[in-house]
Structure 1
Amino acid sequence: MTRRTILKGLTAAPFAAAAGSLIPTVAEAATINAGQFSLTSRSTNGYGEFADLTAGLATKLTKVDATTVIAGTNRSATHLTSAPSTVEAFSTGFAWDGGDQAVDYWIPQGVTTSADAYGNGLYPAGGTNRVVLVSWYFETDPDGDGTDEYSLDKGLRLTLVDYTTSTKPTYRHVLLVEPVMSDTGEYSFNPIRKHAGGILWYGNLLYVVDTYKGLRVFDLNTLFKVATAEVDVCGLHTDGSYYGYGYQYVLPQSHAYDNAGTYLRYTTIGLDRTSTPDSLVVSEYSKSGAVDYTDGTFNGTAPGTTTPKVVRWNLDYTNRQLASLTASEAVTVAQEKIQGVVSHNSKYYLSTSAGPSTKGSLRTVNSGASTATTVCDLAIGCEDLSFHSSGASGWAYSESVIWNLSEYAGKRYVYAVHADGS
């Protein structure tokens, strides 16, 4: 089965309530024991320390940071002057160029912005860039008929969008990779063949959900420039050059947090700057209200309740890593097809999808409330969410907005809606 079949068939002050299913609107939520959800911190893979492997690559390749990539964007997006598709409460957004709008094997999934990375919304710290990041996964069987149309799975890519001039957004794709040693003992890297359903940018770190395993972490201060001639080669090639499937830059993994407690489906991830301390939240996707823990090999001790959950971990602002490996809060959410969850103060927002021909929905519930309400309609194929506070002084809107994106070819938009639905 393809990742689409497997995964598509299927974040908060204290969670006192959460949104209910689309019909009815009455929420059914319960706070559960957060201590059962835990992670282990991992600085190595089977080839050694991530830091050592990356240092080895730095002796072979030119190292750059994300600001270099942003300064050298090579594609132009189309600024949206009105709401796309079925979107309501539209604020701003863009559409990909014709190639990325139509390509069937790269599927956009996660979204985060420099308003997540830094409180003023600008990147880097002390800089002036307004940036949107989007994750994509490679689908070998885009029509879902069980037969691969593309034999080579190229893994994951990340798009860095320069949104500093919102009327003329530009962008560049980079390949996400895992540093390794080759069979001949040379420093190299491999593609990461996962789903990347949600991403979170916090300081210099990018968190990417790994559905069955936990969280992968990438340092945006460390990318490598590689050769581009070989579009079907990743890593060190027989000609002595390094390639990243034709992309000019690769971003190597720098750390991992592996699930160690009760099973959790790491579907999407979001940042909460209104909690103390800052925290990240992870939510689960379910096709019909029950989370599937049988379709893959899950890290952890055992499955718990199959009701979808939202689980929170506190963050350490000083190093941008987790402050604790044990979750600080957890709640069950009686809502199917959750594609994104964010929170701000005591209000929780959920994006819920409804297939390839029906509009999605942004829903919300207040802490202590019993009924979830629809904020506004989202695009068909809505995915991840990212909250953008009006308090982001360097990249401020007149009111807070929530970023979302849509995945289906020909209907792909990255956009923000008013958080109050106005």
Structure 2
Amino acid sequence: MAAAPFAGAAVNLLSAAPAHAATVDASQYSITSRSYNSHGEFAALAAGLAVKLPKVDASAVIADANRSAKVLTGAPSTAEAFQAGFAWDTADQEVAYWIPQGVTTSADAFGNGLYPAGGSDKVILVSWYFETNTDDDAELEYPLDKGMRLTFVDYNNPAAPTYRHVLLVEPVRTGTGEYSFNPVRKHAGGIMWYGNLLYVVDTYKGLRIFDLNTLFTVDPAEKDICGLHTDGKYYGYGYQYVLSQSHAYDNAGTYLRYSTIGLDRASSPDSLVISEYSLDGVVSYNDPGHTFSGTVPPGETTPHVVRWPLDYTDRHPGSPTATEAVTVAQKKIQGVVSRNTKHYLSVSVGETTKGALRTFTSGGSTATTVADLAIGCEDLSFHSSGASGWAYTESVIWNVSEYVNKRYVYAVRADGS
């Protein structure tokens, strides 16, 4: 979460300070399903675009990778318990305005770790957000906010991963009724892949859903145009493919900061968990220029981890009401994954200091450090050793790091060994 300032005095809080946890009433947290935006039903808008544009699925994009990653032979930065990973190419290591945030893998998508259902691909997805102000002064270095992009990483050969970026968009209609799309200008702080659906957190509103069976091929010639242009062509800021939003879940209960998301395949049924970022261990719901969906809480609160059940038959939430909510007095939570009542957190400390993988148990009193993570650690994704098609001898947790020239996607052993 690059926009968060670094407080040097807090360095030792990663491992030295206990993070107290408590169970709270889960029924106060709820979401409401939404199949439309102000331009119409998502399905109808996608159908309209499909008349104008070639439609492809995720497998086609994976097979069309156009960049090469660099395999990691050892732990990046200060990380421990290293299992596997890679670094981006030079251009993506150095670009200032695209910042990696979320990570999920085909071990989230399907239980055997392979994509699609019945397929054989090993895939990693990473989300990025566009930063218009790269040095936090008053001037915008890159005033055209291009929103969020998603990277499909072909990991079938871990020694030579390849990848391709696509633009995340929301389908719309123009003032004259033509089908088009707009960039999604959000933080992309966490993602979760479940079946053919990609969940992306919307910090102030809830969850955005994207159907990986429905991507569109667009003209890559124009790098500063998105959607239907006056020349009759469709562009996606220079990308070959765009992935269009297909559904949404808006927060409907007590305010919740949707900072990051994780899938829990150990629970029954499968479930998703949301965690909240805070700068100092107290979550503020008074961000200037932003409005939260839902109901105002009584005051500023300790960060929460909140769980919703999932329905594996349609890959959507199985209930609008949360089934578990706990607080954890931990600042700078950047990622969460859970295994039943055991929760893992990634915790960051700025641009020069290692992060940490921490864990606590629902109803337990404190969190403990499992292993050091790379500088600038972000989202997490659990990869079970039980994933028969793509498994490691031990369960691992994937992480992504965000800072320029320190950008890695890597897995650490979940027990810290």
TM-score (norm 1): 0.95
Distance 2:5 2:292 in 1: 17
Distance 1:376 1:73 in 2: 33
Superposition deviation, residue 178 in structure 1: 0.2
**What are the superposed Cα offsets for residues 283-329 of structure 1, whole Å, 9 maximum, x if unpaired?**
00000011111112101111245110010010000000010011111
Cα RMSD for the two superposed structures: 1.5
The equivalences for 1:103-252 within 5 A come to 103-252=95-244
**What are the superposed Cα offsets for residues 109-140 of structure 1, whole Å, 9 maximum, x if unpaired?**
00000000000000000000000000000000
Superposition deviation, residue 368 in structure 1: 5.0
- What secondary structure sits across from 2:315 in the alignment? coil
Distance 1:136 1:36 in 2: 31
Structure 2 counterpart of 1:43: 35
- What secondary structure sits across from 1:100 in the alignment? helix
Structure 1 counterpart of 2:90: 98
| Alpha-carbon distance change, 142 to 217 in structure 1, aligned in 2, over 3 angstroms | same
Structure 2 counterpart of 1:14: none
- Aligned partners of 1:21 and 1:334 also within 8 Å: no
Superposition deviation, residue 370 in structure 1: 3.0
Distance 2:237 2:366 in 1: 48
- What secondary structure sits across from 2:14 in the alignment? coil
Structure 1 counterpart of 2:257: 265
Q: Output the amino acid matched with 1:194.
A: K
Aligned to 1:29, which of 21, 25, 32? 21
Residue 352, structure 1, aligned to residue 347, structure 2: yes
Distance 1:25 1:345 in 2: 24
Q: Output the amino acid matched with 2:291.
A: T
- Aligned partners of 2:6 and 2:349 also within 8 Å: no
- What secondary structure sits across from 1:56 in the alignment? helix
Superposition deviation, residue 177 in structure 1: 0.1
**What are the superposed Cα offsets for residues 242-261 of structure 1, whole Å, 9 maximum, x if unpaired?**
00000000000000000111
| Alpha-carbon distance change, 369 to 333 in structure 1, aligned in 2, over 3 angstroms | closer
What are structure 2's unaligned runs of at least 5 residues? none
- Aligned partners of 2:101 and 2:189 also within 8 Å: yes
Distance 2:73 2:169 in 1: 35
- Aligned partners of 2:114 and 2:122 also within 8 Å: yes
Structure 2 counterpart of 1:83: 75
Superposition deviation, residue 171 in structure 1: 0.2
Superposition deviation, residue 414 in structure 1: 0.2
Aligned to 1:329, which of 320, 324, 329? 324
Superposition deviation, residue 371 in structure 1: 3.4
Distance 1:52 1:21 in 2: 50
| Alpha-carbon distance change, 213 to 8 in structure 1, aligned in 2, over 3 angstroms | farther
**What are the superposed Cα offsets for residues 179-205 of structure 1, whole Å, 9 maximum, x if unpaired?**
000122100000000001000000000
Distance 1:89 1:372 in 2: 19
Distance 1:369 1:24 in 2: 17
Superposition deviation, residue 348 in structure 1: 1.6
Aligned to 2:408, which of 388, 406, 413? 413
Superposition deviation, residue 239 in structure 1: 0.6
Distance 2:16 2:78 in 1: 22
Aligned to 1:72, which of 54, 64, 68? 64
- What secondary structure sits across from 1:59 in the alignment? helix
Q: Output the amino acid matched with 1:330.
A: A
- Aligned partners of 2:326 and 2:362 also within 8 Å: no
Q: Output the amino acid matched with 2:371.
A: C
Structure 2 counterpart of 1:276: 268
- Aligned partners of 1:352 and 1:362 also within 8 Å: yes
Distance 1:81 1:294 in 2: 44
Q: Output the amino acid matched with 1:309.
A: H
- What secondary structure sits across from 1:302 in the alignment? coil
Structure 1 counterpart of 2:302: 307
Distance 2:380 2:250 in 1: 23
- Aligned partners of 1:350 and 1:363 also within 8 Å: yes
Distance 2:340 2:385 in 1: 13
| Alpha-carbon distance change, 102 to 37 in structure 1, aligned in 2, over 3 angstroms | same
**What are the superposed Cα offsets for residues 254-293 of structure 1, whole Å, 9 maximum, x if unpaired?**
0000011110000000000111110000000000011111
- Aligned partners of 1:190 and 1:234 also within 8 Å: yes
What are structure 1's unaligned runs of at least 5 residues? 11-19
Structure 2 counterpart of 1:297: 291
Structure 2 counterpart of 1:383: 378
Residue 61, structure 1, aligned to residue 53, structure 2: yes
Distance 1:331 1:191 in 2: 34
Distance 2:138 2:190 in 1: 25
Distance 1:161 1:117 in 2: 14
Aligned residues: percent identity? Answer: 73
- What secondary structure sits across from 2:213 in the alignment? coil
Structure 2 counterpart of 1:399: 394
Superposition deviation, residue 8 in structure 1: 6.4
- What secondary structure sits across from 1:380 in the alignment? coil
**What are the superposed Cα offsets for residues 343-380 of structure 1, whole Å, 9 maximum, x if unpaired?**
12432211000011100001112455433221111000
Distance 2:343 2:44 in 1: 40
- What secondary structure sits across from 1:222 in the alignment? strand
- Aligned partners of 1:4 and 1:144 also within 8 Å: no
